[in-house]
Amino acid sequence: MSEAAQLERNATVTTLNQLDQLKKYSRIVADTGDIGSMKEFAPEDATTNPTLILKAAQMSNYAYLLEKATTDSKKMGLSGAALTDDIFNRLLVSFGLEILKIVPGRVSTETAPDKSFSVQEIVDEAKDFIALYAKNGIGRERVLIKIASTWEGIRAAELLQREGINCNMTLLFSLPQAAACAEAKAKLISPFVGRILDWHKKNTGKEYAATEDPGVNSVQTIYQYYKKFDHKTEVMAASFRNVGEILELAGCDLMTISPALLGELKKSTVPLERKLSPDQAKRSNIERMELNEPKFRFLMNEDAMATEKTAEGIRLFAADARKLKQFINERLK
């Protein structure tokens, strides 16, 4: 290649913003319920949770979605708590349907946090979501059922995957959780980078550079484990606190990123380097885990961070789910 051609090539590379550079190595997922943000950043997939839907549902732009969900539920002849619950689930799916008009790939819809310890309740709700999507012409291949990575949640995912219902395992903070999800053949996991960092900062009083970030290191280890042992479960890094964390995980299968951080990436043209790759992971020195329920529960008990953050995450999502139901009830009055 001539010097002039090389200079032209370098100029082309550096004029790409970091978001476009990142899209070469990782599939980008929007972590929001705001449909307008998805149009701006053009992600391939999108993921939601009770917290994000609560925020979006209170925006006047999306009042029509709540109205439609309410109308459809009332046609079922429901009343009281049953009516509220039905509207709630229809609202989650309504946001999913709107999102799927924008993203070319998949949307994640989350099962109720208060069902996180009941295999059958998780399975039943997942099937209800899939049925609602199907009634609106959306096949299950475009939907991920989001489930907390409890032992029961992982067992529910195993049953659902056997029926061709793909699962996104959320509130995941440890290698044992990730290993168990892979053995259950979950389609995807969402390890929470930022919440791991939050715990360590709170408990050590330290600040961490991106290269030393405990959340980043956790996802790196999980990625290496999956690729070394040929697990097909996809790794989607989630819950980022800063762009530095994202850059250190460039190459992860997927990343779900908030609109604010997507905006920062879009503004920068600093060259971005791929940090994770299957070939590199194959050379890692990591041992395979053998897990059953007692072993899983013991390892979780030994990991204070994973235990506390999983429990806290379920509580927070449950609180926001209750707020969303309260919001629905106020509109019903």
Under a CB-based contact definition with an 8 Å cutoff, are residues 309 and 173 in contact?
yes
Q: Which amino acid is at 32?
A: T
Backbone φ and ψ of 250, nearest 5°: -55, 125
Residue 39 falls in the annotated catalytic set:
no
The residue from 115, 146, 187, 227 that is catalytic is 146
Measured CA to CA, the distance from residue 118 to residue 159 in angstroms comes to 13
Under a CB-based contact definition with an 8 Å cutoff, are residues 181 and 228 in contact?
no
Report CA dihedral (9, 14, 16, 22) to the nearest 10 degrees. 100
Residue ranges of alpha helices (H) inside the chain are 3-15, 18-22, 35-41, 50-57, 63-74, 80-100, 119-135, 151-162, 175-183, 193-204, 214-228, 243-248, 259-267, 278-282, 293-302, 304-332
The gap from C-alpha 226 to its chain's centroid, in whole angstroms, comes to 17
Q: Which amino acid is at 180?
A: A
C-alpha R_g of the chain: 20
Scan for tokens 């019903």, then name that residue: 332
Q: Which amino acid is at 123?
A: V
Pull the structure tokens for residue 227: 């690729």
Q: What is the DSSP letter of 46?
A: E
Dihedral sign for Cα 253, 150, 126, 215, please: negative
Measured CA to CA, the distance from residue 220 to residue 203 in angstroms comes to 22
Point out the residues that are catalytic: 146
